[in-house]
Amino acid sequence: MPPQAPPPAPGGYPQQQGGSDSTKILSLVSMGTGIAGLVLCFCWALPIFPIAALVTGFIAKNKTKTAPRPDLKTFLMVGLITGAIGLAIAILYWILLAAGVINLDAYSDMS
């Protein structure tokens, strides 16, 4: 009797194709900080979260070049795109503030 093939993974999902869990963590951190940075950019225009999203996204993307992880492509792209948009909004805000287009004094006497 010939040996049988191993059963498929539970739920029918494909097995991981390589790489490590650190790549998955980096891509999830990139997506999370990118979304948080995009939301918080409209409040404070601080580029901390978008920069973190871009850095972790590029690190994870470089790791996927040596060990491909197609299951993480969506997370990486969301992190990189939202990080870039959040950074662009923050830079635009600070440029408009420096040019005097945005006046923060107008909002201080709203009583």
For 42, the token pair is 């409209």
Percent of the chain clearing pLDDT 90 (strictly above):
43
Q: Answer for the pair 61, 20: CB distance below 8 angstroms, yes or no.
A: no
The Cα–Cα gap between 88 and 47 comes to 9
Q: What is the mean pLDDT of the chain?
A: 82
pLDDT at residue 6 tops 70: no
Q: For residues 62 and 44, what is the distance between their CA atoms, to the nearest angstrom?
A: 31
Q: Which among 49, 19, 48 is positioned nearest to 31, based on CA atoms?
A: 49
Q: What confidence category does residue 7 fall into, taking pLDDT thresholds of 50, 70 and 90?
A: low
The model's pTM is 0.73
Among 4-8, 33-37, 106-110, the range of highest mean pLDDT? 33-37
- Mean pLDDT across 11-39: 78
Strands (E), 1-111: none
pLDDT reading at 57 higher than 90: yes
- DSSP string across 58-81: HHHHHHHHHS--GGGHHHHHHHHH
